[in-house]
Structure formats: C-alpha cells, structure tokens
Chains A and B, each alone.
Chain A
Amino acid sequence: MARDEQELQPRSDLTLGELDRDGAILEAVEQVSGETRAAFLGKAAVGGAALLGALAAPPIGQASAASDVAILNYALTLEYLQAAFYTETERLDAVGGELKRVPRQLGAVERAHVAAIKKALGRAAVKRPAFNFRGVTEDQSKFLKTAVAFEDLGAAAYKAQAARIKSPALLAAAISIHSVEARHAAWMRFLAGVTPAAAAFDEGKPISEVRAIVASTHFVVARPKTRARKKPKYGG
C-alpha cells in the first residue's frame, strides 16, 4: 500500500471522545489542581444546563412549530461553540503554517451562521454561553483535532435533525448550512490526514449524543461574574 494511502486510512467516525483518547483536548483538564472533582463536575453541569436550555426555548411567531424553534436554538448553540472556538484562535494568533487561514476563514463563516440564526429566532434566541477552551486554541495540534471533531459534530447534528424539521423553508435553510459544515469537515479531515469521506453514507448524531460529547470537553462554562450589587469600598 502506498504511503499516502496508509496515511489516509478510512475512519468510520471521528468523535471528540475518540480524538481525546490520547488526552490531547482534555490534557489541561487532567492537570487541573486546586479544585475538587466535585466542583469541576459542577461547572461541567453548567455547560450541560446551557445546552438543555437551548432545547427548551419557547415558540416564536410566524406559526413556526415549537420543535422547529427548539431545533434552531440547538443549532445556534453549536454555532456559538464553533464561532467562539475559531474567533478565539484567530485572536490569539497561536496557529501557523497551513493552519494559519483556518480560524480566519471558518470563523467568518460560523459567525455568519450565528448572525443568521439569531436573526431568524429574534427574541427566542438563546444567549451565547461562556467558553473556556482550556488552551486548545493556543496549541496547533489540539486546535486541528478539535476542529475536525467540531465540524464532524456540526454536520452530524444538522443531519440528525433534518427529518424532524417541520417547516420546508427551515429545512431548506438547515440543508444549506449543513453542506457548508460538511465541506469544513472534509477540509479539516484532509489537513489532519484523515480520509475526508470514508463512508458512502453518513449517520446523524442525536441531541443526547451531541450534548454528551460537548459536555465531555468542559468547554462550556459558567459566565464570569463581573457585575455586583454591592456598595463600593473605594477611597472615594
């Protein structure tokens, strides 16, 4: 077998959990000190709650089905995650070489997805969660692995929801985003040396699975408290 073929061995699936078996993404988490496991898990639960909140949004007008709004908010939460990931990487300017243009190009697209979905949801849109990427945005190798996992996850999440979408107009919009996520996934897989499209058919990922994968990263965290209702104690 040629060397190129060996390097591009087909993979049936590539989840964040699989990628993280070598500890690449959660390395920083494992090194955490000065914090109890219970406290850490408590913070992880906040991330899970944020995603659950995204699935429980109230319906908006225009006769949209409540489930369509929930699906749109679910998509928005994933888009927030992707957009924040690439935006932070671009801001930190910590990846170079052939990856240099990745956060700039993909970030611009994911931010456009966020803007479009937020506009469609209006006041029913869930708020942007806070993210702690735990150094992944500052490490070339971890960044690429996470990008592969996020793009695969995004494509699989949209795919799984397609059959549940009631509005044909919303389905058309979701498909138009899904194909872009799939292109991103193929590009990231190619850069990572993984076959872009190994299978003839792709499986979708249900919400429960996507939520578990995202929660396992501990990237979604409680928003820092920067405001308080407290009398100042400054010198005056």
Chain B
Amino acid sequence: MTANGERRQRTLARAVGLGLAAIAAAALAVLISSPSTSSSHAIQQAPALPASPEPALRVPSPVRLRGSVGVAQWASVRYGVSVRASASSRARIVTRLGSATPEGTTNIVLVLRRARDRGGRLWVRVRLPVLPIGSTGWVPRQALGVYGVVETHLVIDLERLTATLLRNERPILRAPIGVGRAEWPTPKGEFYIRNMLTRYRSPFYGPLAFGTSARSSVLTDWPGGGFVGIHGTDAPELLPGRVSHGCIRLRNQDILELGRLMPVGTPVTIR
C-alpha cells in the first residue's frame, strides 16, 4: 500500500469511528431521556405557571416552655371527695373537700405530687385549705378537674411587713402590708390563692380581695370559716403595721397591681 493509500484508510477509519461514537452518544441520550420526556417538558414549562401565593400566616419557630423554675400546679375539685392520709382508698380520711368555696367559686387545691396505688389508680397529693396549718392529703385523680399552672409565688414577710410577688423566682412587685395584731396573728406557713373577688361594695376591703387557703387558728368561728384574705383598705395610713384580724392588707393601688399580676392558684408563703 502506498503512503497516500494508508493516509486515506486512516482518515476513513477515523471518520467511521467518529460517526459510530456520535450515533452511540445520540442513542444514549435518547435512552436516558426517553422515560421522562414528558416530565422534562413539563418542568421546562413550569416557569410559565403563576407564582404560588404567599401563605396568609407564618408559623414561627417552635415555642418551647420557659422551664419549670418557680412553676406550681393547681387543680379544680370536681365533686365532694374524702381526702386520705395516703394514696389508697383504705387509708385514713383526713378531711372532706367540697367542690365550691364559701364565696361560690370553684374549689381548687395545690398539686404537690402523684402516685399510683396497688390497683394502678392514680392519686394526687394536694395542699388543703383546712386546719391544722400545713395540712396535705391524697385524693383520686378522677375527683380533680382542670390542671392549672402558675409561674408566680407570693411571699409575705411578717417581720418586714412586706409582700413580694415573684415570677419564675424573680421579684416583680413589692409592697408594704398590714398584718394581724398580736391577739389575732396572721398564720405562718405554706398556702395558696383560692379565688379573686371584685366589684363588691365594701370600702373596708378596697377594690379587690384574694381568698387564700390560710385560716386563722384564733378566729375559727368567723363567718366563712376564718379564712385569711389579701385585700385593699380604706385606711392606707395604717400601713405598714400590725392592724388586722389576720388578713393581709395592701394599699388599693398595690392590690390592683397584684390583681393584674397574680393569678389564682399562686402559692403563698407567710413567714
């Protein structure tokens, strides 16, 4: 074979090779694209569709609970129930809880802990609005209704004659108070706010009054059972002082502020 013939043959072979490669590439492209030809077409057409509407509302980031520091739980009493000394229907009866307070509001109790009896029945240990001071007892869960949560705690200082409201253990209100005279002392201990009374006509109690679970151990025959209230006054000039029958008196502007900040169910420490 001459040199010219060899060159022509190599050129032909290269041309055939390129042609085959082009055919193979085209075939591969067809193979790859053929199963989704319609999808590709639709996606190419997508920009022609109208834009999605902006959602009418934006859901923010998940809202975590603020933690359990200074948090207390209370529960409403659904029906009259015997309170037991331990989490068992055979345990000694401590007292009986009604479903309403003397003021006609729903009776509530402060939740302390829970336990199950041998039969798996759920019981709740609660703080009681009865004498002796500091009484607690167990009631079946089914006798309780709504659970409430508060982040506040009221501290009554009988020495300094101050009321301090804490939220998550941080003070948010401090006010001078009037407390019981020596013969009618304000009881010390752990209690809770049972209800809030408003819009009554009695300047003596000011514009607002809280009922507490605390009871006077001296004035037990007082109408309503001798419960200790936290209320306003028509004699602010006596505060701070030891001037009451055991109730805790605040200036009217302070009791109104307390009414704004302190929910029912708030634990109360009197010390």
Contacts and interface: CB of A to CB of B under 8 A. Distances in A.
Interface of A: 28, 31-35, 87-88, 90-92, 94, 104-105, 107-109, 111-113, 115-117, 119-120, 130-135, 137-139, 167-173, 176-177, 180, 221, 223-236
A34 B80 contact: yes
A96 B83 CA distance: 29
B261 to A, nearest CB: 15
B142 A135 contact: yes
A230 B57 contact: no
Most chain A beta carbons < 10 A, residue from B103, B198, B265: B103
A14 B54 CA distance: 33
Sorted from nearest, which 3 A-B pairs have the closest CB atoms?
A: A234-B229, A108-B62, A233-B224
15 contacts: A87-B65, A90-B65, A91-B71, A108-B63, A113-B59, A116-B60, A132-B78, A135-B141, A173-B59, A176-B59, A226-B264, A227-B264, A228-B196, A234-B229, A234-B231
Contacts of A236: 204-205, 229, 231, 244-245, 247
B137 interface: no
A234 B247 contact: yes
Contact of B147 (A88, A105, A180, A232): A88
A87 B71 CA distance: 13
Contacts of A233: 102-103, 222-224, 227
A173 B76 contact: no
Interface residues of B, number: 69
A226 B142 contact: no
B41 interface: no
B146 A131 contact: yes
Interface string B44-83: 0000000011111111111111001001010010111100
B226 interface: yes
Interface of B: 52-65, 68, 71, 73, 76, 78-81, 102-106, 108, 114, 121-122, 141-143, 145-149, 180, 184, 195-202, 204-205, 209, 211, 216, 219, 222-224, 226-229, 231, 244-247, 264-265
B245 A235 contact: yes
A35 B54 contact: no
B145 A221 contact: yes
Nearest to B65: A90
A224 B76 CA distance: 7
A116 B59 contact: yes
Given A232-B197, A232-B211, A234-B231, A172 B55 contact: yes
B54 A34 contact: no
Contacts of A170: 55-57
Given A234-B224, A234-B229, A32 B142 contact: yes
Given A112-B60, A170-B56, A233-B102, A224 B197 contact: no
A109 B62 contact: yes
A112 B142 CA distance: 31
